[in-house]
Copies of this chain bind each other. A is one copy, B any other.
Amino acid sequence: MNQNTSDPPSRRPTLSQVAKAAGVSEITASRALRGGSAVAKTTRQKVERAAQALNYVPNRLAGTLAGGASRQVAVILPSLSNIVFADVLKGLENRLEDDGYHPILGISHYDATREEHLLHDLLSWRPAGLVLAPTSGSAATRALLQAAELPVVEVMDTDPDAADMAVGFSHRAAGRAMAHYLIGRGYRRMAYIGHDIATDFRALARLDGFKDGLTDAGLSLSDTLILDGPSSVPLGREGLARLLDRTTQWPEAVFFSNDDMAVGGVFHCQTAGLSLPHDIALAGFNGLSIGQALPTPLTTIASNRERIGFVAADLILRRLKGERPPRITQIDFRLVPGSTA
């Protein structure tokens, strides 16, 4: 807390130093650098030159505190192990960057307590907006959001009633769509293989929707296998092996919690010499490129994660410009018939 007279020892240059170097007042320098306001062309050039020369980097903490909007957007995702959320983040970052905004990231690990903690932490940076793929519908979380008075976008799902805005699609509807598709293909005995469902409630919603779809046709799930741990190719492979191993009456079709799992299932079939979809049919969810590159392209449902992220960022930005964008934006999923079911 020193430095008011004379040159500071070696600190980063401040606006005041730039102003002095350019021979103008601080506020004029500020305006010159931010563009827009009325500043004579020659003055602006002087200031810009001075800033350049001093290697000036503005201090946005100060700027934001003094009245500006933050240009940081808090982002809370449940995981990064899954490429799905990396895709969302990519879309987000892409759109934000266009307007000079940046995401501050928090990973909740599908843990409601952690999510709440993160929220509190990130909010302390006074972000201009918040994007999250909620892990829980926790009341405490909801209260914090309400109080924060900033644009909030919940991504990936449109089922629960969002506090503010939402972008995504109905996972329940997606599950149901797959059930209908498989039924249409003539399958009747169907099983489900999923990962740690207690935490991933969107996967759970797909399962519920799938069951609904079966019910629509008077059917029900013949078998269900839930494995511990996050979804992965090896886990899906193990899952199918175990499911087929523990019963003599095989299902005709298996719906996996997502493509990673389903690709694992395909690999098991390749290893076990089972022909797809004749011996058994498999279906996934997400439409990852790897599933489509398989010798037997995976039957799946494509979701556009990157677009969801992009739109989420766009909604925040629009709101900050004073617009009133729609509360719910559907980014539709699309059933991709492959050769595995």
The residues of A with any CB-CB pair to B shorter than 8 Å are 1, 10, 12, 55, 57-62, 64-65, 67, 70, 72, 80-81, 83, 86-87, 89-90, 93-94, 97, 100, 102-107, 118, 120-126, 143-144, 147-149, 232-234, 237, 260, 263-264, 267, 270-271, 289-290, 292-295
Contacts and interface: CB of A to CB of B under 8 A. Distances in A.
A104 B89 CA distance: 12
Given A93-B105, A105-B93, A271-B295, A234 B289 contact: yes
Given A81-B90, A97-B107, 13 more contacts: A12-B147, A12-B148, A57-B124, A59-B65, A61-B64, A62-B65, A80-B87, A100-B121, A102-B105, A232-B289, A233-B293, A260-B290, A267-B294
Give 5 closest A-B pairs by Cβ, nearest first.
A86-B86, A80-B90, A233-B293, A271-B295, A234-B293
Contact of A61 (B97, B125, B232): B125
Contacts of A260: 290
A233 B102 CA distance: 30
A226 to B, nearest CB: 19
Contacts of A295: 267, 270-271
A322 B94 CA distance: 36
Contacts of A100: 121
A61 B65 contact: yes
A149 B55 CA distance: 13
30 contacts: A10-B149, A57-B124, A59-B65, A59-B124, A60-B124, A61-B61, A72-B104, A80-B93, A81-B86, A81-B87, A81-B90, A86-B86, A89-B105, A93-B106, A97-B107, A102-B122, A103-B104, A105-B105, A232-B293, A234-B289, A234-B293, A237-B293, A260-B290, A263-B290, A263-B293, A267-B293, A270-B270, A270-B295, A271-B295, A290-B290
Contacts of A90: 80-81, 107
Nearest to A292: B234
A67 to B, nearest CB: 7
A1 B107 CA distance: 35
Contacts of A62: 65
